[in-house]
Amino acid sequence: MFSRPVPWLPAEGDAALITVSSRIRLARNLVDLPFPGRATVEQRRRILAQASAAAAGIVAAASRLIVSEMPDLTDLERQLLLERRLISRDLCRMGAGSGVLLAPDEHISVMVNEEDHLRIQALLPGLHLRAVHRLADDVDTKLSRCLPYAFNERLGFLTACPSNVGTGMRASVMLHLPGLALTGQIEPLMRGAQELSFTVRGMFGEGTEAVANFFQVSNQATLGESEDQTLGRLDAIICRIVDAERVFRQRLVRERREHLYDQIGKAYGSLRYAHLLTSKDAMNQLSLLLLGCDLGLFHNLRRGPLQELMIRVQPGHLQKLAGKTLEEVPRDVFRARLVREKLGNMADA
């Protein structure tokens, strides 16, 4: 499990340089049962069993649904699921009766008894909001045939937190915005998005800081507009952000070329010869290398392997590769060796 490439990383291509992935998350709850925060372990376990049974019925015969209750997962497995963006930080910390259902291709996952009974997630590379919505919607429709959803004609889907009531849909796009970040444009972007009732967050969602210039833009409103309207508005704002990112990258190249090349060059040099690397440093510097690739500064580095490396340097993936638990310093040493080797191989290629 999890040795294969991360399925939500985009293939190389122009638009993919900025729009990393599109995600839909649908919050659903079952009628006549308390929300997970108030349910007993017995109730939560029954919900997990019901959800698993319903999901098993809709998975193609050839593939296999992975069902895990949180206590059955090791720390490393939870960490891997988090790093691959298949579960939330909150679910990581949950116990008996909470779990995850996972399609083997990792495009679909369902968190069970996180904040809501079900959180159906679909995740695709690139900017493909309609496609990823169809994927989530299809699972949702099929599950709804077996599971009695809590739905109110006037309000829509009922959820544990009022902020999700209505469509229960959170659509988000992950963007790589080094151009805006290096020119101090993230604050204005956040304020502007807020005014249109969108939120800009770090890579791992709510409450996480931005790492490596990756930002997720998602809708706040789930009430008063249809899924289709939300997706249309999100698509439009993403296109404007992508345009702005392009403009600010060009401006950086035009007006601060030497500073930019210096930052990218030193990031490369540091990664290529480090013997100790924190996850955060590695990701931040790899982000600059991605930018360097986009700007055509590197002959021998390719975007795909760098993106993949950015996932592999995270603690879970790193320890999986090492085949054992590693304390912080040995982990930083191992990470530095991995990065040196990978960049060395790319440079030799």
Chain residues in the site for a copy of itself (CB under 8 A): 258-259, 261-262, 265-266, 268-276, 329, 332-333, 336
Q: What Å distances lie between residue 306 and 10, 111, 315, CA to CA?
A: 12, 29, 17
Q: Can you read off the two tokens belonging to residue 184?
A: 């101090």
The residue among 130 and 266 lying less far from a copy of itself, judged by its C-beta, is 266
- Nearest distance from residue 186's CB to a copy of itself, in Å? 24
The residue among 336 and 338 lying less far from a copy of itself, judged by its C-beta, is 336
Burial class (CB in 10 A: 0-12, 13-18, 19+), 297: middle
Eight-state DSSP code of residue 149: B
The residue among 168 and 315 lying less far from a copy of itself, judged by its C-beta, is 315
The residue among 12 and 262 lying less far from a copy of itself, judged by its C-beta, is 262
- Nearest distance from residue 117's CB to a copy of itself, in Å? 47
For 246-284, letters b (16+ CB in 10 Å) and e give eebbeebeeeeeeebeebbeebbebbbebeebbbebbbb
The residue among 23 and 331 lying less far from a copy of itself, judged by its C-beta, is 331
- In degrees and rounded to multiples of 5, residue 143 shows phi and psi of -65, -35
- Nearest distance from residue 10's CB to a copy of itself, in Å? 27
- Nearest distance from residue 336's CB to a copy of itself, in Å? 7
The residue among 173 and 301 lying less far from a copy of itself, judged by its C-beta, is 301
Eight-state DSSP code of residue 231: H
- Nearest distance from residue 252's CB to a copy of itself, in Å? 13
- Nearest distance from residue 340's CB to a copy of itself, in Å? 8
The residue among 148 and 330 lying less far from a copy of itself, judged by its C-beta, is 330
- Nearest distance from residue 91's CB to a copy of itself, in Å? 35
Q: Can you read off the two tokens belonging to residue 74?
A: 């090791």
Give the DSSP per-residue string, 299-340: SS--HHHHHHHHHHTSHHHHHHHHTS---HHHHHHHHHHHHH
The residue among 32 and 258 lying less far from a copy of itself, judged by its C-beta, is 258
- Nearest distance from residue 124's CB to a copy of itself, in Å? 35
- Nearest distance from residue 289's CB to a copy of itself, in Å? 11
Q: Can you read off the two tokens belonging to residue 71?
A: 């206590």
The span from the CA of 44 to the CA of 48, in Å, is: 6
For 205-227, letters b (16+ CB in 10 Å) and e give beeeebbbbbbbbbbebbeebeb
The residue among 83 and 332 lying less far from a copy of itself, judged by its C-beta, is 332
The span from the CA of 126 to the CA of 45, in Å, is: 36
What would the 3-class secondary structure string for 153-172 be?
A: CCCEECCCCHHHCECCEEEE
